[in-house]
A and B are shown apart, each in its own frame.
Chain A
Amino acid sequence: MQFLFRYANPHNFMRLSGAVLPFFALATVLCLAAGLYLGFSVPPDYQQGTTIALLFIHVPADVVAEAAYGAIALCSLLSLVWRHPLSDTAARAAAPFGALFTALGLITGALWGKPMWGTYWVWDARLTSFLLLLFLYLGYMALWNAIEDETRAARAAAILALVGVVNIPIIKFSVDWWSTLHQGESIISGKIAPVYLWPLLLMMTGYMLLFATLWLIRIRTAIMERRARNLMQGGPA
């Protein structure tokens, strides 16, 4: 906690994030390049053929889409309990990326579904819950934008994010109960062949780093924006 509070100070945060940002960006590029190279040179799957390559773009997007909501929820909790303005900024900055990765997951999933399932869209459990996740992101961002007073907007959005966290497992369960076609997970249970696993893990790390890099940039931009505004109003930077 003590560590967290030290970097909740925008000044310290700017120093630390400025120092690590180039390394994050470099690691992102390396992971994505290696992952894409390996991913597109794997042997065709016995069932899916060459469309297996889409796996390396699709699955990491979905993982990041969910992780981003987790990040928002964590920031919201920190903001509601300890009232750190920086965690509000961080939560707000993560939302568009969450929505973007959710959309990316849906689009790549549809492109994969056409040759494999014979249709772009099926009302399957996993697809439907991701569509709902996209709407949750959109609602969250809309609430942020609708309330003018920034402190109130932050706290309202934080409450909504936490309500969403309680609700997401229930939505997931209810949608699963409703219909299922999407294949189950194959990574933790070890059902995936190692030749596919390595590029997938590389791509997942790459996507996570990409999200982290973009997120840091967006938080930094928001902080600088606020400083600029304060300066224009004649206050302290």
Chain B
Amino acid sequence: MSPFAILLLRDTKLAARSGGSAALALSFFALVATLVPLGIGPDLRLLARVAGGVLWVGAVLSALLSLDRLFQGDFEDGSLDLIALSPLPLELTSLAKIAAHWLSTGLPLTLLSPLLALLFNLPGPATGFLFVSLLIGTPAVSAIGAIGASLTLSLKRGGLILPLIILPLLSPVVIFGAGAVSATLDGLDGTGALELLAAFSFAAVLLSPFAAAASVRLNLGS
């Protein structure tokens, strides 16, 4: 097995077994989706109208929950030093961690979204767009989140400052993702927004590992 695959497998297993970050993110996501109707009332037409935006914001926030531990755990117990010494470049290490984070949060959130969309009375085609937009948009959340996680990895309270750093950078994802859903609701074609989202996501996944690797390097002091 290649070092990349080993690291990916290890991080996915760690996420699944220690505390179950996927289960945590999913319950948080479902809870946010439950609180919104309590806040704005049970009018199904209104809920269908806001579903795309609410579920997108909820998904981004849920993915944030486990993000601060992306590098921190390995940093604290010293395994990040060993990983840095391995032949795998830190850029690919970051990419493996991004992929592991997506597999343990972004993907489960996407799979849960049609069920929550049903509770929001979102019509079928719009639900399809929500599902696809989450599928191609959440990798960008993990990727840009990894930059924030690596910048704050040495901080005890990194989880507090992390959202402040990366949420503004994530605004395009929310705009295009929720935009695809609301365009479909208005009878317009949502594929334009999906294409822009795919472009953003692709660029984020491609470029973020470099920024994340640079900040891991500076935190390891090498």
Interface residue ranges, A against B (CB under 8 Å): 132, 135-136, 138-140, 142-143, 146-147, 152, 155-156, 159-160, 162-164, 166-167, 170-171, 173-175, 177-178
B154 and A174 within 8 A (CB): no
A to B contact number (C-beta, < 8 Å): 76
Given A139-B164, A163-B147, A178-B179; A132-B171 close (CB under 8 Å): yes
Chain B 168-206 near chain A by CB (<8 Å), digits 1 or 0: 110110011001000000000000000010001000000
Q: Is the interface of A mostly helix, strand, loop or mixed?
A: helix
Smallest CB-CB separation from A155: which chain B residue?
B218
Across the interface, which residues of A come within 8 angstroms of B168, CB to CB? 132, 135-136, 139, 171
B219 and A143 within 8 A (CB): no
Please, how many angstroms separate the alpha-carbon atoms of A155 and B214 in the complex?
Answer: 9
Ordered by A's residue number, 21 sampled pairs between the chains whose C-beta atoms are within 8 Å are A132-B168, A135-B168, A139-B164, A139-B165, A142-B164, A143-B161, A146-B152, A146-B157, A152-B154, A152-B218, A155-B218, A156-B151, A163-B169, A164-B169, A166-B207, A167-B172, A173-B172, A174-B171, A174-B172, A175-B175, A177-B175
Across the interface, which residues of A come within 8 angstroms of B84, CB to CB? none
Q: Does B155 lie at the interface of the complex (its beta carbon under 8 Å from any beta carbon of A)?
A: yes
- In the complex, how many angstroms separate the beta carbon of A143 from the nearest chain B beta carbon? 6
Within 8 A of A (CB), among B50-75: none
Given A135-B168, A142-B161, A174-B171; A159-B151 close (CB under 8 Å): yes
Smallest CB-CB separation from B221: which chain A residue?
A152
Central interface residue in A136, A138, A175, A178, by most chain B CB within 10 Å: A178
Across the interface, which residues of A come within 8 angstroms of B207, CB to CB? 166
Q: Does B211 lie at the interface of the complex (its beta carbon under 8 Å from any beta carbon of A)?
A: yes
Given A166-B207, A174-B196; A135-B172 close (CB under 8 Å): no
A159 and B219 within 8 A (CB): no
Contact partner of B175 among A156, A164, A167, A178, CB < 8 A? A178
Interface residue ranges, B against A (CB under 8 Å): 147, 151-152, 154-155, 157-158, 161, 164-169, 171-172, 175-176, 179, 196, 200, 207, 211, 214-215, 218-219, 221
B161 and A146 within 8 A (CB): yes
Q: Which 6 pairs between the two chains have the least Cβ-Cβ distance?
A: A174-B172, A139-B165, A135-B168, A139-B164, A155-B218, A174-B175
B211 and A163 within 8 A (CB): yes
- In the complex, how many angstroms separate the beta carbon of A168 from the nearest chain B beta carbon? 9
Please, how many angstroms separate the alpha-carbon atoms of A22 and B177 in the complex?
Answer: 52
Smallest CB-CB separation from A132: which chain B residue?
B168
Please, how many angstroms separate the alpha-carbon atoms of A118 and B166 in the complex?
Answer: 33
- In the complex, how many angstroms separate the beta carbon of B124 from the nearest chain A beta carbon? 25
Central interface residue in A132, A136, A160, A171, by most chain B CB within 10 Å: A160
Contact partner of A143 among B152, B196, B200, B211, CB < 8 A? B152
Please, how many angstroms separate the alpha-carbon atoms of A17 and B186 in the complex?
Answer: 58
Across the interface, which residues of B come within 8 angstroms of A173, CB to CB? 172
Please, how many angstroms separate the alpha-carbon atoms of A160 and B144 in the complex?
Answer: 11
Please, how many angstroms separate the alpha-carbon atoms of A146 and B151 in the complex?
Answer: 11
Across the interface, which residues of B come within 8 angstroms of A155, CB to CB? 215, 218
- In the complex, how many angstroms separate the beta carbon of A186 from the nearest chain B beta carbon? 26
A177 and B165 within 8 A (CB): no
Please, how many angstroms separate the alpha-carbon atoms of A139 and B179 in the complex?
Answer: 26
A170 and B172 within 8 A (CB): yes
Please, how many angstroms separate the alpha-carbon atoms of A155 and B207 in the complex?
Answer: 18
Central interface residue in B147, B157, B179, B214, by most chain A CB within 10 Å: B214
- In the complex, how many angstroms separate the beta carbon of B195 from the nearest chain A beta carbon? 12
Across the interface, which residues of B come within 8 angstroms of A170, CB to CB? 172, 200
A138 and B155 within 8 A (CB): no
Across the interface, which residues of A come within 8 angstroms of B175, CB to CB? 174-175, 177-178
B165 and A159 within 8 A (CB): no
Please, how many angstroms separate the alpha-carbon atoms of A143 and B209 in the complex?
Answer: 19
Please, how many angstroms separate the alpha-carbon atoms of A170 and B203 in the complex?
Answer: 11
Smallest CB-CB separation from A176: which chain B residue?
B175
